[in-house]
A and B are shown apart, each in its own frame.
Chain A
Amino acid sequence: MLIRQPVRLFVALAGISFAGILMFMQLGFRDGLFDASVTVHRRFDADLVLISPRSTSSVRMAGFPKRRLIQTMADPQVEGITPVHWSLMLWRNPENLSTRSILGLGFDPEDPFFVNPELSQDSQQLSLKGRVLFDQLSRPEFGPVAEWFRQGRTVESEIGGNRVRVAGLVSLGTSFGADGNLLTSSETFLDLMPNKAPGSIELGLIRLKPTADPLAVQERLTALLPNDVRVLTKQGFIDFEQNYWRSSTSIGFIFTLGAAMGFVVGCVIVYQVLYTDVSDHLPEYATLMAMGYQLKTLVGVVVREGLILALVGYIPAYLAGQALYWFVRDATRLPVGMDLSRATTVFTMILVMCMLSAGLAMRRLVDADPAEIF
């Protein structure tokens, strides 16, 4: 019945699409944030990791004695270890000389570190002092480091008053916690951060034999080591980081709330449109009832109307969502993308929204008294 009223149809569809876009946006940001916060974590070549119990997240990593990591070698299932220094540093933009904090990781170039192999070749460059690998996906505020480097220029900058030279590029990606990343050797790291004790590290990577059960080893190590370290599986380390953003900050809550708002706004708009539509056609519904049609049949009409609205309204929401994700990816370099589960979640929510509104609008149908139409 809406087809004969293009304006109202348009309003309904615009409302649904708007709600859909809002949900796509908010959920996209939320998931993007959680994904982005562990881009670095995912790449570590490790089965188990050691962290300090005082560490709360990637932006607040506390140190623990390197000895603890070496102690784990006592376990027969442990194949190799890599001590990692981890801290935020102040990077000076080589173009305009402003400083900004960047996440710096220090490790021994001889040790395996990241799972992707192309880094292993580049990491040899780090054996020279004062060399760093710069994350080319870092935000542009750090300066045009990647472009300059690719042009063959020597890119030099300062960290904490020490001169560093960019020896190579890596692709890691930004997160809400870190706007950029750089990798360096342990030696350079300690030069750059003189207040860090040499015997203290922030992260210990543990590689196990292929046949080992990570959970069993995790248990053994926890029993073995004093409680100034925590033993986590790699997945546990990823969860640890995501949990921080999810529960210790209001970010997750805010975006979920935003999505809920979109849902409510959509409900109100669809309800308004369907309610007015049913009210306008009340005499016609009453006529149908007088002819002997069941209330059930008429309810079916309204449900179908809601269903069609949901389907047709979802399409522009999906397309606009794609476009906005692209835009956000471009602007913030966060890994925000359309995935199937979010697409279906939003579709389900739109469907529920339309059905809920249709259900509410249907109460108006009960008022259709066939006796009134004579």
Chain B
Amino acid sequence: MASTVAIEGLNHWYGRGANRRQVLQSVGLTIEPGEVVLLTGPSGCGKTTLLTLIGALRKVQEGQVCVLGQPLNAAGRGARQRLRRRIGMIFQGHNLLRCLTAEQNVQMGADLLKDRSYLARRDLSRQWLREVGLGDHLNKLPHDLSGGQKQRVAIARALAAHPQLLLADEPTAALDSTTGREVVDLLKRLAREQACSVLMVTHDPRILDVADRLVRMEDGRLFCSVG
């Protein structure tokens, strides 16, 4: 089976002219299907940039990036947008839609599965909310949920679209240690069940043990360490 993510010789710059600054230097990384990889490193070292490149949110400038079998080097807007549907994303902030209930938020993820009926998608989103332990909070607005609950809704939303790759950017940053632990455990369990690969950026030393593999990044370079 092909690797979920295959990166080779990836370079990336920000800015133009004299202000041009290299943030990624010949990065190479592969993630196998079902693998949970943790990416750590000081802030400003390029972790998030790498994440957005894999998530097809940015154009690749130089190097080979292949995600879910799709080469991203020359991919246009439309191709990247289609690829993004197959990638789940969990953000540092929960980024839920404020005006929608928990159920509707998850459904925004499920709605990306075009081949299912409305009812099937609604059942799916309810099922995912029960799965993350929020079966009783279907009709609450994000405003009325606690931080941990919001992040769990975000996980349900990311997984509802049946992604083959889950990208998470410091999902525990806004949570206390116990909730953070719960959220990460949940994330790992659900990803396992879905045979979904996970790439998680984190600063949190308490959750490093969930990883199959640890990758450390410093000044735009990757240092692999065995997890």
Contact = CB atoms under 8 A, between A and B. Distances in A.
Contacts of B157: 291
Contacts of B82: 292
A291 B48 CA distance: 17
B91 A4 contact: no
A288 B51 CA distance: 17
Nearest to B52: A371
Given A371-B52, A374-B48, A374-B52, A291 B84 contact: yes
Given A290-B84, A291-B108, A294-B81, A4 B52 contact: no
Given A371-B52, A371-B57, A374-B51, A292 B84 contact: yes
A290 B57 contact: yes
User: Majority SS of interface residues in chain A?
Assistant: helix
B84 to A, nearest CB: 4
A114 B57 CA distance: 78
A373 B157 CA distance: 16
B112 interface: yes
Interface stretch (B1-9, B20-28, B37-45, B92-100): B92-100
Contacts of B169: 374
A136 B87 CA distance: 79
Residue of A4, A281, A289, A290 most packed against chain B (CB within 10 A): A290
B148 interface: no
Contacts of B189: none
A3 interface: yes
B52 to A, nearest CB: 5
Interface range for A? 10 to 19
B95 A287 contact: yes
A284 B95 contact: yes
A10 to B, nearest CB: 17
Interface range for B? 20 to 34
B161 interface: yes
Residue of B51, B81, B86 most packed against chain A (CB within 10 A): B81
Contacts of A284: 95, 97-98
Contact of A291 (B92, B98, B99, B109): B109
Interface string A359-374: 0000000000011011
Interface in A274-300: 281, 283-284, 287-294
A374 B95 CA distance: 10
A216 interface: no
B89 interface: yes
Contact of B91 (A292, A294, A374): A374
Interface string B108-136: 11001000000000000000000000000
Contacts of B91: 287, 373-374
B192 interface: no
Given A371-B58, A374-B169, A288 B85 contact: no
A374 B92 contact: yes
A195 B103 CA distance: 88
Closest 5 CB pairs of A and B: A292-B85, A292-B84, A371-B57, A287-B95, A371-B52
Given A3-B99, A288-B97, A290-B84, 14 more contacts: A287-B95, A287-B97, A288-B108, A289-B81, A290-B55, A291-B84, A291-B89, A291-B108, A291-B161, A292-B161, A371-B57, A371-B58, A373-B91, A374-B92
18 contacts: A287-B95, A288-B108, A289-B81, A289-B84, A290-B55, A290-B89, A291-B85, A291-B157, A292-B81, A292-B85, A292-B112, A292-B161, A293-B81, A370-B84, A373-B91, A374-B48, A374-B57, A374-B169
